[in-house]
Amino acid sequence: MTGFEQPPYITVVCAVIERAGRVLAAKRGTGKLRGGQWEFPGGKMQAGETAEHAVVREVREERGCVVRPRWRLSRIQHRYPDIAVTLLPFVCALLEGTPRALEHAELRWVVYADVCALDWSEADVPIAIEYFAATR
């Protein structure tokens, strides 16, 4: 990439899924960009789709469970060397099913102390900070 090119830009949704005082963290596979880092599950919005619909669809497709968005956290914009992202995070209730690691190497239900010990993708760090500041 030369100094004049811009990385691709995408908008993604992510879910801070709550259960019994914990939130779901997902570890990226080692063969992916930012492999081994933790993130909140989610994915790209499709054309014509609302953010709320996208987060429900992505969790169903990638976790195999159903969530309901409860409230939205602040929009996050972050530029990695390879891509620029806007994250639209939602705090979600788990309605049915047990989350499975269909697209990630590992899933873990974590409390605040655990979150601080994990190696998070940079764009997800402010989401964790805002969520735990609002719920502690």
Q: Is residue 4 part of a domain?
A: no
**CATH number, domain with residue 72:** 3.90.79.10
pLDDT for res 101? 87
Give the residue among 107, 129, 92, 114 at the shortest CA–CA distance from 26: 107
State how many domains the chain has. Answer: 1
Percent with pLDDT over 90 in the chain: 66
CA 104 vs. chain centroid, Å, equals 11
Rounded to two decimals, the pTM is 0.89
Number of residues assigned to the chain: 136
| pLDDT tens, position by position, 53-85 | 999 999 999 899 999 999 999 999 999 888 899
Q: Is residue 84 part of a domain?
A: yes
What are the residue ranges of helices labelled H in 18-135?
Answer: 51-63, 112-117, 125-135
16, 48 Cβ separation under 8 angstroms: no
